[in-house]
Structure 1
Amino acid sequence: MNDPRPLRDLQGEPITLEEGRIAPQEVKPRRRFPWSAVICTALVLLVAAGWWIRPQESAAPTGRRSFTGPIPVATATAQTGALPVTLTALGTVTPLTTVTVRTQISGRLTNIYFKEGQEVKAGDPLAQVDPRPYEAALKQAQGQLARDQAQLRNAQLDLARSQTLVARNAASQQTVDTQTALVQQYQGTVEMDEAQVRTAELNLEYCHIVAPVSGRLGIRLVDVGNYVQGGDATGLVVITQMKPITVVFSLPEDVVPAVMRRLNSGTELAVSVYDRNRRAKIATGKLVTVDNQVDVTTGTVKLKAEFPNEDGSLFPNQFVNVDLLVNTLENIVVIPTAAVQRGVPGTYVYLVGADNAVSVRKVTLGPSANDKVAISEGLKPGDKVVVDGADRLREGSKITEPDAPGAQAAPARPQQEGPGEGARRAPPVRTP
């Protein structure tokens, strides 16, 4: 069956038949949309737009962004004053005396005369052991002493008679020598009896247990009615001396020579202690001694400070923070610690000029205390430095103080921290 419609190719163009073959017609090339050019153009536009809106980086030492217009900051003036040189350490409260009260004899505990937590003085009665067996032992020793003393007197009389008879040639010298030896024997026996009597008296005295030192009593360790012995490890109660009390702390061996020079000069070094979180000051005392050797495992030396502790605020084995005042520097340049910056130049500050333009000034730090730091080199009294808002400054930036007339707050912009920003914000280390 013949189809009168012409044959067409895939693109819809007609084709002809020649000698039984299909002769393709000339196919025109198809145009494609230039997507690659569009994509390249869009990327170029995006890069150009990003470069246009990107803020210019400042040439400040720490790589901060620059701001246009005066930047509101807080400033402070370098002043001449005194700065304490303080060494900090960790310490432990240690009592001067800690005594575990134990019985020196064996027996039944019949009475307890103290209350737990009571303040006692040396010699105050604490407890009593049943004294009846020791009273009987004392009477027995006293009776034996009386018997031997009578025998000694009789032997001495016999010796005197023998010596008289020998003088009259009525007795031999041997009798006198024998009687003399017997007298010496009884003298030794009497001395032994006297020692036994004294021992019995001491045992009877030990039945009444008294406080060996003054201090504060702890919790009772033995109840009435228990049988106690001299070798008991627990004891009856523990007495701890609370007034005065000491704090033992350690310092690096490098700073000990400075402390020793101050002590050898006769200066009394003040010591302050704070609680575990360093939020509250507990007590103030003085340094009393320095150990005689360095701990080779830690490279530190132990020191001991004494505190009156009249209010009982310091407790034995308490963990405290210690501040040792070594010296006080007079007539030095002092600025707030917050003004010190750290970066490529080292330690520096932003110095405010007469035209309210800041400049980077490198400084040499000294000791620091109470949010103040001493400046050894770089500043003079009266210089004004930036203490707040320095993260937005660069060399030559114009500043304004919010409290000044006509000052306006700058709009908040994102900040970019340069390398080592965290280290720059760290406070300076205290040095003696």
Structure 2
Amino acid sequence: MMMPRPLKMAGAALLVTAAAGFGGYIWLGSAKSAASRGEASRTPVPIQAAIPVTAAGVAQGDAPIVVEGLGTVSPLNTATIRTQVQGTLESVDFVEGQEVKRGQVLARIDQRVYEAQVDQADAALARDQASLKNAKANLARTRPLADRGFATQQALDTQNSQVAQGEGTIQLDQAALEAAQTQLSFTTITAPLDGVTGIRRIDPGNIVQPSDPNGLVVLTQLQPIAVIFTLPSTEIPDVQKAIAAGDVAVDAYDASNRRRLDHGSLMLIDNQVDSSTGTVRLKASFPNAARTLWPGAFVNIHLTIAVRKNALTVPLTAVQQGPNGAFVYVIGPDHKVTVHQVVAGQSRAGKVLIEQGLSPNETVVTAGQYRLSAGTTVELVPDSQSRRVQNATTASAGMLP
């Protein structure tokens, strides 16, 4: 059945109108998109803010090469003062903890028994000297008589033997007298060396004898004093080279390894390595003028084995660790950082020795590295201000408690 002509014309007009509306919608969307793109192209791109950091220059100068070891303070000389004779301790003539000199009287023992022995030996010597004198006189009378035939040869020989016997007895008496005098001298106990007395171990009035295990007191030399310390056996060749080149400087630090106690010199290297630990013992001497070193205390020893000339050093905080090893951020003239891989040597007193990777007078970042990458622009600020900025940034990111 065919559609009437007026109805066909109405349908065609409706189709044309719809097409025109759709085309207008597409054109309007395209125009809005173009306008949006034009507005976006006119919006300025934000510039990244400079990162606040602290920095320090690469220093050049002489740097000591130091090896460290743990040691124990040990006196060069110590003596347990004991009596060499038995008797009553009459007096103690020292003050505990007092510095004494060699030969100073420390204690006295009752001398009466030993004085009597000296008197007895002296008397025996006088008696035998008189006998010898008489024997020599008899010999002097007998010899002329024997020469003229008025005395027998036997009588002369007897007189000669009596003189010889008397001379031997005199020697024996003199030795006995010297022994008695020596025993008497032992009743006065003196200091065998300069040192400091310890705690008194016996009081006056007690009987003392040589077999007493504790003695009277322990005398310790404090000035100079020694430190025995250990180093890995691999360090010994370098230490030997330093000894051959001259005196090796040694510094003693406290247990915290912060405060220097004294400066001394190396005395010797032990003649064998401890196979169980792979270490060798060394001994150093210190003047200990201020008595900062005390026997039995543990100290840290810094042994200077060489001085590196024109060495490059940077603060220890400048060196970072990455997948490829140690590196630092170097600040260029445009305030942009570049990454330099470095070979770091020993670190000491907050400085680290740089073997390779840096040049003199370059500037390296010492704080604030965690926000940096190659090409980042930085702003140099004082160290205290940099820490405040870092703490504030970290706290805002939820990284601090």
**Are 1:81 and 2:61 matched, yes or no?**
yes
In the other structure, the counterpart of 2:358 is 379
Corresponding residue SS for 1:356: coil
Give distance in 2, aligned partners of 1:415 and 1:72.
19
In the other structure, the counterpart of 2:318 is 339
Instruction: Give the percent of matched residue pairs that are identical in Structure 1 and Structure 2.
Output: 42
**Are 1:256 and 2:218 matched, yes or no?**
no
Within the candidate set 100, 114, 119, 2:80 is matched to 100
Give distance in 1, aligned partners of 2:209 and 2:95.
22
Deviations 1:15-69 (A, max 9, x none): xxxxxxxxxxxxxxxxxxxxxxxxxxxxxxxxxxxxxxxxxxxxxxxxxxxx964
**C-alpha displacement of 1:368:** 2.5
1:191-202 equivalent positions in 2, closer than 5 A: 191-202=171-182
Q: Are 1:83 and 1:369, in contact at CA under 8 Å, matched by a contact in 2? A: no
**Are 1:314 and 2:278 matched, yes or no?**
no
In the other structure, the counterpart of 1:394 is 373
Give distance in 1, aligned partners of 2:270 and 2:349.
29
In the other structure, the counterpart of 1:360 is 339
In the other structure, the counterpart of 2:110 is 130
Q: 1:221–1:336: structure 2 CA closer, same or farther, 3 Å change rule?
A: same
Letter in 1 for 2:127: R
Corresponding residue SS for 2:335: coil
In the other structure, the counterpart of 1:183 is 163
Corresponding residue SS for 2:282: strand
Give distance in 2, aligned partners of 1:135 and 1:335.
76
Give distance in 2, aligned partners of 1:171 and 1:296.
84
Q: 1:415–1:363: structure 2 CA closer, same or farther, 3 Å change rule?
A: farther
Give distance in 1, aligned partners of 2:316 and 2:292.
32
Q: TM-score, normalising length from structure 2?
A: 0.81
Corresponding residue SS for 2:180: helix
Give distance in 2, aligned partners of 1:85 and 1:283.
19
In the other structure, the counterpart of 2:282 is 303
Deviations 1:331-390 (A, max 9, x none): 122211111111211111122233333222111122322211222211111222221111
Structure 1: which 5+ residue stretches go unaligned?
1-66, 417-432
Q: 1:204–1:402: structure 2 CA closer, same or farther, 3 Å change rule?
A: closer
**Are 1:71 and 2:18 matched, yes or no?**
no
Structure with the bigger percentage of helix: 2
In the other structure, the counterpart of 1:149 is 129
Q: 1:415–1:332: structure 2 CA closer, same or farther, 3 Å change rule?
A: farther
**C-alpha displacement of 1:294:** 2.0
**Are 1:172 and 2:152 matched, yes or no?**
yes
Question: Root-mean-square deviation (CA), in Å?
Answer: 2.3
Give distance in 1, aligned partners of 2:364 and 2:297.
42
Letter in 2 for 1:78: V
Q: Are 1:365 and 1:377, in contact at CA under 8 Å, matched by a contact in 2? A: yes
Give distance in 2, aligned partners of 1:279 and 1:364.
26
**C-alpha displacement of 1:403:** 5.5
Give distance in 1, aligned partners of 2:143 and 2:397.
122
**C-alpha displacement of 1:105:** 0.7
Letter in 2 for 1:318: A
In the other structure, the counterpart of 1:52 is none
In the other structure, the counterpart of 1:274 is 253
Letter in 2 for 1:168: R
Within the candidate set 231, 234, 240, 2:211 is matched to 231
Corresponding residue SS for 2:118: helix
Deviations 1:161-188 (A, max 9, x none): 2222221112222222222222222211
Letter in 2 for 1:175: A
Structure 2: which 5+ residue stretches go unaligned?
1-46
Q: 1:381–1:181: structure 2 CA closer, same or farther, 3 Å change rule?
A: same
In the other structure, the counterpart of 2:29 is none
Q: 1:173–1:313: structure 2 CA closer, same or farther, 3 Å change rule?
A: same
Give distance in 1, aligned partners of 2:389 and 2:103.
74
**C-alpha displacement of 1:129:** 0.7
In the other structure, the counterpart of 2:349 is 370
Give distance in 1, aligned partners of 2:309 and 2:244.
21
Give distance in 1, aligned partners of 2:353 and 2:192.
52
1:42-61 equivalent positions in 2, closer than 5 A: none
